[in-house]
Amino acid sequence: MAIEVRIPTILRTYTGGEKAVDADGSTLTALIDSLEANHPGIKDRLVEDKGNGIELRRFVNVYINDEDVRFIGSLEATLADGDQVVILPAVAGGAR
Protein backbone atom coordinates (compact mmCIF):
# COMPACT_ATOMS: atom_id res chain seq x y z
CA MET A 1 0.00 0.00 0.00
CA ALA A 2 1.42 3.33 -1.00
CA ILE A 3 0.10 6.75 -0.21
CA GLU A 4 1.83 9.83 -1.53
CA VAL A 5 2.42 12.48 1.09
CA ARG A 6 3.29 16.01 0.02
CA ILE A 7 5.78 17.57 2.40
CA PRO A 8 5.90 21.34 2.97
CA THR A 9 9.19 23.22 2.66
CA ILE A 10 9.64 23.61 6.38
CA LEU A 11 9.49 19.84 6.98
CA ARG A 12 11.74 18.82 4.11
CA THR A 13 14.72 18.78 6.45
CA TYR A 14 13.23 15.46 7.61
CA THR A 15 12.84 14.01 4.12
CA GLY A 16 16.23 14.85 2.69
CA GLY A 17 14.71 17.67 0.71
CA GLU A 18 12.05 15.49 -0.94
CA LYS A 19 8.79 17.28 -1.76
CA ALA A 20 6.79 14.08 -1.66
CA VAL A 21 7.38 10.73 -0.02
CA ASP A 22 5.50 7.44 0.11
CA ALA A 23 4.04 6.15 3.34
CA ASP A 24 1.36 3.70 4.34
CA GLY A 25 -1.32 3.19 6.94
CA SER A 26 -5.03 2.67 7.13
CA THR A 27 -5.55 5.71 9.35
CA LEU A 28 -3.81 9.04 9.57
CA THR A 29 -2.23 7.98 12.87
CA ALA A 30 -0.76 4.89 11.21
CA LEU A 31 0.40 6.96 8.27
CA ILE A 32 2.21 9.38 10.57
CA ASP A 33 3.90 6.46 12.34
CA SER A 34 5.01 5.16 8.97
CA LEU A 35 6.41 8.59 8.10
CA GLU A 36 8.20 8.69 11.44
CA ALA A 37 9.80 5.29 10.81
CA ASN A 38 11.50 6.60 7.68
CA HIS A 39 11.89 10.25 8.66
CA PRO A 40 12.58 10.37 12.41
CA GLY A 41 11.47 13.56 14.10
CA ILE A 42 8.68 14.46 11.71
CA LYS A 43 5.91 13.07 13.93
CA ASP A 44 6.62 15.56 16.68
CA ARG A 45 6.10 18.37 14.19
CA LEU A 46 2.66 17.06 13.27
CA VAL A 47 1.10 15.92 16.54
CA GLU A 48 1.27 16.81 20.20
CA ASP A 49 0.37 15.08 23.45
CA LYS A 50 -3.14 15.57 24.65
CA GLY A 51 -4.32 13.79 27.77
CA ASN A 52 -3.46 10.15 27.33
CA GLY A 53 -3.18 10.37 23.59
CA ILE A 54 -2.07 12.64 20.80
CA GLU A 55 -3.79 15.10 18.54
CA LEU A 56 -2.95 16.97 15.39
CA ARG A 57 -1.15 20.21 16.14
CA ARG A 58 -3.45 23.20 15.89
CA PHE A 59 -1.45 24.96 13.19
CA VAL A 60 -0.76 21.98 10.97
CA ASN A 61 -3.21 21.26 8.20
CA VAL A 62 -3.48 17.79 6.69
CA TYR A 63 -5.65 17.00 3.68
CA ILE A 64 -6.70 13.62 2.35
CA ASN A 65 -7.78 13.87 -1.27
CA ASP A 66 -8.24 17.63 -0.79
CA GLU A 67 -10.38 17.27 2.34
CA ASP A 68 -9.20 18.84 5.57
CA VAL A 69 -8.86 15.88 7.93
CA ARG A 70 -10.43 17.90 10.74
CA PHE A 71 -13.77 17.33 8.99
CA ILE A 72 -13.26 13.60 8.45
CA GLY A 73 -12.07 12.27 11.78
CA SER A 74 -8.74 14.01 12.24
CA LEU A 75 -6.10 11.41 13.27
CA GLU A 76 -8.71 8.64 12.92
CA ALA A 77 -9.42 9.56 9.30
CA THR A 78 -9.16 6.48 7.13
CA LEU A 79 -6.88 6.00 4.16
CA ALA A 80 -6.83 3.69 1.16
CA ASP A 81 -4.20 2.79 -1.38
CA GLY A 82 -3.71 5.59 -3.87
CA ASP A 83 -4.99 8.35 -1.61
CA GLN A 84 -3.15 11.64 -1.70
CA VAL A 85 -2.12 13.36 1.48
CA VAL A 86 -0.97 16.97 1.65
CA ILE A 87 0.59 18.55 4.73
CA LEU A 88 0.63 22.34 4.97
CA PRO A 89 1.56 24.55 7.89
CA ALA A 90 -1.14 27.10 8.66
CA VAL A 91 -0.42 30.60 7.48
CA ALA A 92 -1.37 32.46 10.61
CA GLY A 93 -0.20 34.97 13.15
CA GLY A 94 -1.20 38.33 14.46
CA ALA A 95 -0.62 40.86 17.16
CA ARG A 96 -2.15 38.97 20.06
- Taking the C-alpha atoms of residue 5 and residue 19, their distance in angstroms, rounded to an integer, is 8
- Taking the C-alpha atoms of residue 18 and residue 27, their distance in angstroms, rounded to an integer, is 23
Q: How far is the CB of 72 from other proteins (least distance, A)?
A: 12
| Smaller CB separation from other proteins, 19 or 37 | 19
| Smaller CB separation from other proteins, 19 or 50 | 19
| Smaller CB separation from other proteins, 52 or 71 | 71
The alpha carbon of 86 is separated from its chain's Cα centroid by a whole number of angstroms, namely: 7
Q: How far is the CB of 38 from other proteins (least distance, A)?
A: 22
Per CB under 8 A, residues contacting other proteins are 8-10, 59, 61, 63, 66, 68, 70, 86, 88-96
